[in-house]
Amino acid sequence: MTLSSGRLSSAWSALSTPLSKGGVMQSSLMETKNINIFDNYEALVEGTVELFVKLADEAIKARGKFIISLSGGNTPKGLYAKLAEKEVAARIDWSKVVVFFGDERTVPYTSPDSNQRMITESLLSKVALSRENVFALNDPDMDPKATAIEYERTMHEFFRLASDELPQFDFMLLGLGDDGHTASLFPGSPALQEKERWFIDNKVEKLSTVRLTTTYPVINNSRNIIFLASGKGKAAVLKDVLTGPQGKYPSQNVKAENGKLYWYLDKDIAAEL
Ligand code: 6PG
């Protein structure tokens, strides 16, 4: 954990204090799963901003660009708003940042449920990104299968890889649903079995809808996978995801096969760990 000193102390103190209940096993869980617990949502957002700035710096120094995949839902809204704040945004060379959307609902851009709209309004429209470095999903509500194929083609054209290679994101932001889903990889949905496609349309029976989502092969090939999750409402599912039987929840199949995985949590969601 290499955060700014203030943040480190609160994170560490949070690590040692609540864990005293669980003793040694819990601290090894923290270490092995790279779990970072922050006092509250605000501190979690600030801690994630520090990680974003650090990883952006490293990627741009090493490869000249920072390729990110951003998630939807409510939890990252505070992060996007913070990254868009003048003094924070000034710490990132946005001209070198390349943005993809990790998953999307099959709704028009004008819908309040559109991830692209939320992310664009809370962050992308407020920072000095180059337009050609933001890869949007076209008309996700019209023909999701065609939209997924087109977006996948866009990823192939951007990453320009050999046929057996996978794209590697520098920052893959994920959330955790209260049913243990992540991105739009929902329990029992067909995309959980996808081994070849990079981005796909996914029928989600329980929501009687189709979602568009990045697949496990791409997620798991990322340099940095960041689960950002908060709130006591998810404390039970988080505990089960981290300490329960494996293979039960879609989020459990996220494994850093070619990089590092981080759990960025607030104390509320970590209360049962
Ligand atoms: C989406 C997301 C999804 C989200 C979780 C958690 O499109 O909804 O990408 O995977 O991260 O559902 O959502 P909340 O942050 O709203 O709890």
Q: Is the pLDDT confidence value at 183 over 60?
A: yes
pLDDT digits (tens, 9 = 90+) for 207-235: 999 999 999 999 999 999 999 999 999 99
* Residue 23 confidence (pLDDT) above 70: no
Token representation of residue 187: 């329990």
How open is the CA angle 112-105-261, to the nearest 5 degrees?
A: 110
Cβ of residue 46 lying under 6 Å from some atom of ligand 1: no
Place 26 in a pLDDT band, splitting at 50, 70 and 90: low
The reply to whether ligand 1 has any atom less than 6 angstroms from the CB of 75 is yes
Task: List 103's β-bridge partners, or say none.
Answer: 213
Instruction: Judge if the beta carbon of residue 221 lies within 6 A of ligand 1.
Output: no
Closest ligand 1 atom to residue 182 Cα is 10
pLDDT band at 31 (very low <50, low <70, confident <90, very high): confident
Q: Is the CB of 115 under 6 A from ligand 1?
A: yes
Ligand 1 atom at minimum distance from 76 CA: 15
Q: Among residues 271, 255, 258, 272, which one has the least CA distance to residue 34?
A: 255
Instruction: Report whether residue 17 contacts ligand 1, using a CB cutoff of 6 Å.
Output: no
* Percentage with pLDDT > 90 across the chain: 86
Ligand 1 atom showing the smallest separation from residue 104 Cα: 7
Cα 27 to chain centroid, rounded: 24
Nearest residue CA, atom 6 of ligand 1? 177
Tokens 């998953």 belong to: 103
Asked if residue 238 has its Cβ within 6 Å of ligand 1, the reply is no
Q: Which atom, in ligand 1's list, is nearest to the CA of 231?
A: 17
Best mutation site among 107, 111, 115, 176 for ligand 1, i.e. most ligand atoms within 8 A of its Cβ?
176
> Which ligand 1 atom is the nearest neighbour of the CA of 75?
15
Q: How far is the CA of 209 from the centre of ligand 1 (A)?
A: 15
Could you tell me the pLDDT band of residue 141, with boundaries at 50, 70 and 90? confident
HEC readout, the chain: CCCCHHHHHHHHHHHHHHHCCCHHHHHHHHHHCCEEEECCHHHHHHHHHHHHHHHHHHHHHHHCCEEEEECCCCCCHHHHHHHCCHHHHCCCCHHHEEEEECEEECCCCCCCCCHHHHHHHHCHHHCCCCHHHEECCCCCCCCHHHHHHHHHHHHHHHHCCCCCCCCCCCEEEECCCCCCCECCECCCCHHHHCCCCCEEEEEEHHHCEEEEEECHHHHCCCCEEEEEECCHHHHHHHHHHHHCCCCCCHHHHCCCCCCEEEEEEECCCCCCC
Compute the average pLDDT of residues 137-151. Answer: 93
